[in-house]
């Protein structure tokens, strides 16, 4: 894969270059002539501002250009994206247009073993499947509403004709239950975008009516990644013992997810040593920004949802803040083998369904308090005198019964001990050889002498450490 100096997003000239390479259909010629006129006008009246020049372009062609390149193909034009715990939405090509079908519907969703809830999603998934396409593609997306309420879909971050923007009431009529609407536009940019309900967003997004919309570059500026992962961050309020996310919650969310899964329900990212890895992270949570921290690596932040960051301005980071409504893309070469944590660094975001209305009991010997409270509140457990770690262990060992349909303060099993993080945690697993392309390769087998362990008496004596 060679480096090119293409400008991005695809501008009119790039479209034309593609058109010229393809030959001359009537459509191509028409758009070429139109662009020529724009160009000439620009030359004839060089002092006019760009906006005036643009006004001279046929309006329709400017806001909804006809594609001049064939539909982008996976493997040929791009490395297909991997959405852990999810899939890409299938599509077909009809007369050169990529056709998709989203069905908004109620979905029974499992966040992690032990917690299921009735959510709203698309095509049987929460969140909806990832829409994947290529810059310059013409897409036609049908949206069928099987929800009990009206809905609409907004294509968050995409440049498109105003009437395709999906804001119910403002740019279109509400899609009533049982109706199917058609959206159609040409992708004029590349990057990590989203789609989500834009009718009663507070309710519909809180219940999960969101998804990723990935647009691959037609001609990448840099080498293509070997692995291209995509995550959507979201947050939920699901009270212990209930099974419906609460859309009325304004600040106090208690389930935080990568692609609608809390650890240990999150599927890890598998990569081979030396792979170029791209991770896209989008966030349309209600209230929380998430500083996502990847262990073991430093990475370049290569894209925002506004576009590619020039190489000279790309920063090396180990955490990337993904604010609400934003997406960020990071890239690195997988040079460090192991099982590396990737998680939100807001410590409450790696806890699930934590009760926060109790006095601080750290260091307090609570005696038989729990047993007495449990006669009134089954499943009650004081945040123990040693902190929260013991809580998950107590539950995992069957010592304490978790309330039905809940994952309070739960983490998950690790190869050494219980991992005391849940929520926004997933793993990057880098191996010298992967037996199966995208499957979990199991726990890392550390080379001898590379695991922290209990210091020996000899170590302490040699180094003059007195304990
Ligand atoms: Cu967070």
Distance 266 CA to ligand 1 centre (A): 15
For residue 107, CA distances in Å to 119, 121, 124, 244, 248 come to 5, 6, 6, 11, 19
| CA 41 – CA 328 distance, rounded (Å) | 38
Instruction: Give ∠ CA 88-93-94 in degrees, rounded to 5.
Output: 140
Question: How much of the chain is in helix, strand and coil states, percent to nearest 5?
Answer: 15, 30, 50
Residue with the bigger pLDDT between 232 and 2: it is: 232
Given a cut of 80, is residue 380 above it in pLDDT?
Answer: no
Q: How far is the CA of 445 from the centre of ligand 1 (A)?
A: 30
Q: In whole angstroms, what is the distance from residue 24 CA to residue 268 CA?
A: 47
Task: Compute the distance from residue 356 Cα to the ligand 1 centre, in Å.
Answer: 17
Residue 43 pLDDT exceeds 80: no
| Distance in Å, CA 442 to ligand 1 centroid | 26
For residue 31, CA distances in Å to 16, 21, 37, 40, 450 come to 8, 14, 10, 14, 61
Q: In the prediction, which pLDDT does 294 show? A: 98
Residue 234 pairs with which residues in a beta bridge? Answer: 257
The string of pLDDT tens digits covering residues 182-228 is 999 999 999 999 999 999 999 999 999 999 999 999 987 778 999 99
**Mean pLDDT calculated for residue range 325-351:** 96
The Å distance, Cα 159 to ligand 1 centre, comes to: 28
Compute, in angstroms, the gap from residue 261 CA to the centroid of ligand 1.
Answer: 14
Rounded distance from Cα 83 to ligand 1 centre (Å): 19
- What distance in angstroms lies between residue 352's CA and the mean position of ligand 1's atoms? 12
Q: What is the DSSP string of 49-106?
A: -HHHHHHTS-HHHHHSPPP-SPPP-BTTTBPPPB-TT--BPP-EEETTEEEEEEEEEE
CA of 134 to the centre of ligand 1 (A): 30
Listed in sequence order, the residues at least 6 apart from 39 whose beta carbon sits closer than 8 Å to its beta carbon are: none
> What spacing in Å lies between the alpha carbon of 287 and ligand 1's midpoint?
10
Residue 277 CA to residue 329 CA, distance in Å, equals 10
Tell me, in angstroms, the distance from the centre of ligand 1 to residue 298's CA: 19
Degrees (nearest 5) of the Cα angle 408, 409, 415? 120
Ligand 1 is an ion; residues with CB less than 5 A from it: 290, 344, 346, 349
Mean residue pLDDT across the chain: 86
Q: The dihedral of CA 445, 448, 449, 452: what is its sign? A: positive
Whole-number Å distance, alpha carbon 82 to ligand 1 midpoint, is 22
- Between 397 and 286, where is the model more confident? 286
For CA atoms 154, 160, 162, 164, the dihedral sign is: negative
Ligand 1 center to residue 342 CA distance, Å?
A: 11
- Which residue in 333, 230, 330 sits closest to 273, CA to CA? 333
Confidence band for 378, pLDDT divided at 50, 70 and 90: low
Give me ligand 1 centre to Cα 355, in Å.
17
pLDDT the model gives residue 56 = 63
Return the percentage of the chain with pLDDT > 70, whole number: 83
What is the whole-number distance in angstroms between the Cα of residue 412 and the centre of ligand 1? Answer: 18
d(CA 37, CA 58): 10
Interval between CA 456 and ligand 1 midpoint (Å): 38
Q: Look at residue 270 in the predicted model and tell me its pLDDT.
A: 97
Residue 102 Cα to ligand 1 middle (Å) = 29
Mean pLDDT in residue range 43-64: 61
The structure tokens 């299921």 sit at 116
- What's the gap in Å between 73 CA and the centre of ligand 1? 35
Query: Which two structure tokens, joined as six digits, stand for 139?
Result: 């897409």
pLDDT at 437: 80
In this structure, are strands 210-216 and 131-134 parallel, antiparallel, or unpaired? parallel
Decide which of 231 and 60 is more confident: 231
CA 206 to chain centre: 16
Q: What angle do CA 142, 325, 288 make, to 5 degrees?
A: 125
Return the exposure string of 374-398: e unless at least 16 CB atoms fall within 10 Å of the residue's CB, then b.
eeeeebbbbbbeeebebbbbbbeee
Distance (angstroms) between ligand 1 centre and the Cα of 47 equals 49
Q: Compute, in angstroms, the gap from residue 140 CA to the centroid of ligand 1.
A: 34
* Residue 450 alpha carbon to ligand 1 centre in Å: 30
Ligand 1 center to 213 CA (angstroms):
22
Q: Is the pLDDT of residue 120 over 70?
A: yes
Distance CA 394, CA 23 (A): 69
């Amino acid at each position: 894969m060679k480096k090119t100096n293409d400008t991005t997003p695809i501008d009119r000239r790039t479209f034309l270059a593609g058109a010229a390479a393809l030959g001359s259909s009537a459509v191509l010629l028409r758009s070429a002539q139109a662009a020529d006129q724009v160009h000439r006008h620009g030359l004839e009246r060089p002092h006019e501002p760009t906006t005036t020049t643009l006004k001279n372009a046929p309006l329709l062609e400017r806001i909804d250009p006809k594609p001049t390149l064939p539909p982008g193909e996976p493997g040929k034009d791009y490395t297909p994206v991997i959405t852990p715990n999810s899939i890409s939405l299938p599509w077909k090509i009809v007369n050169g247009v990529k056709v998709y079908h989203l069905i908004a519907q109620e979905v029974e969703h499992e966040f992690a073993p032990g917690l299921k809830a009735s959510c709203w999603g698309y095509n049987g998934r929460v969140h909806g499947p990832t829409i994947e396409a290529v810059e310059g593609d013409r897409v036609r997306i049908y949206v069928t509403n099987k929800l009990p309420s009206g809905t609409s879909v907004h294509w968050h971050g995409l440049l498109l004709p105003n009437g395709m923007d999906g804001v119910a009431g403002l740019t279109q009529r509400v899609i009533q239950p049982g109706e199917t609407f058609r959206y159609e536009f040409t992708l004029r940019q590349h990057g990590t975008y989203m789609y989500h309900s834009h009718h009663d967003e507070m309710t519909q997004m809180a219940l999960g009516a969101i998804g990723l919309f990935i647009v691959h570059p037609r001609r990448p500026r840099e080498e293509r990644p070997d692995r291209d992962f995509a995550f959507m961050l979201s947050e939920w309020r699901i009270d212990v013992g209930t099974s419906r996310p609460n859309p009325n919650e304004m600040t106090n969310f208690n389930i935080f997810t990568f692609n609608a899964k809390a650890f240990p329900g999150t599927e890890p990212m598998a990569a081979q040593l030396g792979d170029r890895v791209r991770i896209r992270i989008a966030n349309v949570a209600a209230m929380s920004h998430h500083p996502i921290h990847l262990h073991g690596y430093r990475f370049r932040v290569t894209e925002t949802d506004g576009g590619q960051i020039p190489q000279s301005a790309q920063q090396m980071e180990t955490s990337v803040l993904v604010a609400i409504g934003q997406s960020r893309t990071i890239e690195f070469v997988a040079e460090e083998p192991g099982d590396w944590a990737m998680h939100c660094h807001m410590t409450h975001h790696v806890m699930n369904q934590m009760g926060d209305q109790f006095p601080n009991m750290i260091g307090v010997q609570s005696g038989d308090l729990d047993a007495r409270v449990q006669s009134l509140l089954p499943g009650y457990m004081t945040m123990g005198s040693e902190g929260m770690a013991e809580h998950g262990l107590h539950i995992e060992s069957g010592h304490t019964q978790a309330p039905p349909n809940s994952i309070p303060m739960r983490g998950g099993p690790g190869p050494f001990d219980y991992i005391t993080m849940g929520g926004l945690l997933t793993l990057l697993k880098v191996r010298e050889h992967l037996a199966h392309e995208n499957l979990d390769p199991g726990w890392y087998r550390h080379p001898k002498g590379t695991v922290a362990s209990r210091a020996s008496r000899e170590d302490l004596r040699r180094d003059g450490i007195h304990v």
